[in-house]
Amino acid sequence: MENQIITPKKTIFSGIQPSGTLTLGNYIGALRNFTLLQDEYNCIYCVVDMHAITVRQNPADLRRRCLELAATYIACGLDPKKNIIYCQSHVSGHAELGWILNCYTYMGELQRMTQYKDKAAKHADNINAGLFTYPVLMAADILLYQADLVPIGADQKQHLELTRDIAQRFNGVYGDVFTVPEGYFGKVGSRVMSLQDPTRKMSKSDPEDCYIAILDPADVIRRKVKRAVTDSDAEIRYDPENKPGVSNLLSIIAAMTGDSIENVVNDLSGQGYGTLKNRVSECVIETLAPIQEEHKRLMADKAYLQGILDENAQRANAIAMRTLRKVQKKIGFAARG
Ligand code: ATP
Ligand code: LTN
């Protein structure tokens, strides 16, 4: 028998904020890819509650949404025994490494972040320091676990680039402490657009009609898709620049069915927007129905979810501490007895 070289599995890390109802954008841009990668990699998926408080949250809602997001991870097909699914605030290493990395990040770098500029404009009454340094905490999340790959939507590309810069800067001074991560972006749907303004990304903090929530019932999905903004020339063609609404609907079908955009367009050629919208609704409903059912089942068993989160936080903490201790030693913090 030939000698086989067994390479250790690479690590994936990603996080989603429990800041609202998850949308089809979160599903297509992030969650769906998480499930596709779980067999090939060691995967760590975090409920990033510490990121969520950069915007004001109602405490009871935040607590509930953390459990709901963990249930969504599992309902979408992530196996909590294979993957580490946990809450960010349960592992103190995130905050500790975040502070250290703040001292290796420049104000100018953070001032260039477009998500900061967008959110500062949206929440002008609460432009807090956490909102500004948020990308550093995200870098800490990723670097703590020595992640090789980070599945994210296109809007997070700039934050990942910053993470890589911080890691390289740190490694340049102290040797190879951090793995420099790569982003993982799906072929289609890394930027699902708003149903009401298809030039902007679908966002869970926008008004209801702009997004499809993963937990929306079938009739709500049909209604929202029916009202989605298209254009007046009635031709089904993929052209994101001139036909952003129609192109967005076509990419949603492609993402949901796994078909190429070209095939989707061919299938629908000569049809009207009514047919296009029916096709969108049906494939979204079909994909989401089993997820919704499983989510409901899981939410009825909070003790099980709590057990998963507790157990996984311990596993995450063990990995995080290894990196944190190494970093602390490298930068010269006093040894522990
Ligand atoms: P908010 O709107 O409150 O800022 P968000 O949905 O943009 O929230 P997260 O919940 O943290 O932010 O996003 C989780 C993941 O979903 C990220 O990887 C992000 O890139 C991805 N994502 C979010 N919106 C979209 C979208 N419209 N299309 C594709 N991916 C998206
Ligand atoms: N910044 C991301 C959420 C996030 C994340 C992470 C994603 C926080 N930490 C680590 C990937 C890896 C967002 O706003 N979507």
Pocket test for ligand 2, best of 85, 152, 160, 184 (most atoms within 8 A of CB): 152
Q: Which amino acid is at 50?
A: M
d(CA 238, CA 187): 15
275 alpha carbon to ligand 2 midpoint, in Å? 36
Q: Would you call 288 exposed, middle or buried from its count of C-beta atoms within 10 A (0-12, 13-18, 19+)?
A: buried
Q: Would you call 48 exposed, middle or buried from its count of C-beta atoms within 10 A (0-12, 13-18, 19+)?
A: buried
Residues 65-121: tens digit of each pLDDT: 999 999 999 999 999 999 999 999 999 999 999 999 999 999 999 999 999 999 999
Residues 152-199: tens digit of each pLDDT: 999 999 999 999 999 999 999 999 999 999 999 988 888 999 999 999
Q: pLDDT at residue 7 above 80?
A: no
pTM, rounded to two decimals:
0.93
Picking from 95, 9, 11, the residue whose alpha carbon sits closest to that of residue 50 is: 95
Question: Taking a C-beta distance cutoff of 8 angstroms, is the pair 140, 163 a contact?
Answer: no
Please report which confidence band the pLDDT of residue 4 belongs to, taking 50, 70 and 90 as the band edges: low
Picking from 13, 23, 126, 14, the residue whose alpha carbon sits closest to that of residue 72 is: 23
Edge-to-edge strands, sheet with 182-184 = 84-87, 42-47, 11-16, 149-151, 182-184
What would the two tokens of residue 82 be?
A: 């294979």
- Decide if 277 is catalytic: no
Please report which confidence band the pLDDT of residue 262 belongs to, taking 50, 70 and 90 as the band edges: very high
25 alpha carbon to ligand 1 midpoint, in Å? 6
* Percent of residues, the chain, with pLDDT higher than 90: 91
Facing residues of 86 across strands?
46
Question: Taking a C-beta distance cutoff of 8 angstroms, is the pair 105, 129 a contact?
Answer: no
Which of 9, 82, 122, 204 does the annotation list as catalytic? Answer: 204
What would the two tokens of residue 324 be?
A: 């944190």
Question: Taking a C-beta distance cutoff of 8 angstroms, is the pair 211, 23 a contact?
Answer: yes
Question: Taking a C-beta distance cutoff of 8 angstroms, is the pair 91, 159 a contact?
Answer: no
- Decide if 157 is catalytic: no
Tell me the angle at which helices 302-331 and 129-144 cross, rounded to the nearest 10 degrees.
90
Sign of the C-alpha dihedral computed for residues 138, 150, 69 and 158 taken in this order: positive
- Decide if 119 is catalytic: yes
Around ligand 1, the residues with Cβ closer than 6 Å are: 16-17, 19-20, 25-26, 28-30, 152-153, 155-156, 190-192, 201-205
pLDDT at 205: 80
Identify which ligand lies nearest to the alpha carbon of 13.
2
pLDDT at 233: 87
168 alpha carbon to ligand 2 midpoint, in Å? 19
Question: Taking a C-beta distance cutoff of 8 angstroms, is the pair 169, 100 a contact?
Answer: no
pLDDT, mean of residues 126-141: 97
Tell me the angle at which helices 302-331 and 273-299 cross, rounded to the nearest 10 degrees.
90
Average pLDDT, the chain: 95
pLDDT at 86: 98
pLDDT at 337: 80
> Would you call 192 helix, strand, or coil by DSSP?
coil
What would the two tokens of residue 98 be?
A: 């975040």
